[in-house]
Structures are given as structure tokens and as C-alpha cells.
Amino acid sequence: MQRFIRLKREFEKLNQEPIEGISCYPKSDNFENFVATILGPNESPYSGYIFQLSIDISEQYPFEPPRITFQTPIYHPNIDNKGRICMDLLNMPPKGNWKPTIGLKKSFRCYTMFVKKSKS
């Protein structure tokens, strides 16, 4: 129940304070699966492109990161051919930097910086 309340609050905050170029909505009322549409950031090789992402939330969230995958094909050195993102923020320690305080909004902000810095 606590997980559901947190996810609902995070989703409401995303709607109240949206991130430019990113929209997100739950696939169902249980807030376990989300769909995000992300515009390729300006000043990046992806400017003008639109990407759809799938966000799956585990029962252990926020103690485990959301599983975010690209549904739209993308060529990026840190995204595999199945759309899985290799970003420290989205992995558990000791190899990753996920913390329960990060949440969905910060994950999306990091995505934007991550893609902007791409040399693809």
C-alpha cells in the first residue's frame, strides 16, 4: 500500500511539475506499469525524434529502481538492442547508484542529460 501511495504521489508531481519533452501515464490503476513518451533533446543526435519507453515498477520499489526500457528502437552506446538502458542510476549498488530517494522524476531528468551527452 505504501508503494502505491508513493507512486501515485510521484505521478501527480510529474503532472503538476512536468519535465519539458516528457509525458508519462500509468497503464493501469495499480501504478505498476507506466508508458512515457520522450522527445529527443535539442542539441543531441536525437533532436526531432520521439521515443516511447516502458517503465515497470517492482514490488520492492522504491528500494529497487524502476525497470525502464525503450520500446522505440534507438542507437545509443548505452542502450542495448532490447531497449535496456545501462545507466548507473538505474542499477542497484554496488555497481549502481540507485537510492530510494531518487524516484521517477529524477530518473527522467537523468535520462535527458544522459542522451544529450551522447556522441552517437
Q: Which of the following is catalytic: 12, 58, 80, 86?
A: 86
CA atoms of 97 and 76, how far apart (whole Å): 21
Contact between residue 34 and residue 12 where contact means Cβ atoms under 8 Å apart: no
Distant-in-sequence contacts of 58-62, Cβ < 8 A, 24+ apart? 59/3, 61/3, 61/6, 61/7, 62/3, 62/6, 62/100, 62/101, 62/102, 62/103
Give the bridge partners for 111, in sequence order: none
H-state helical runs in the chain = 2-16, 103-116
The yes-or-no answer on residue 110 being catalytic is no
Catalytic residues: 86
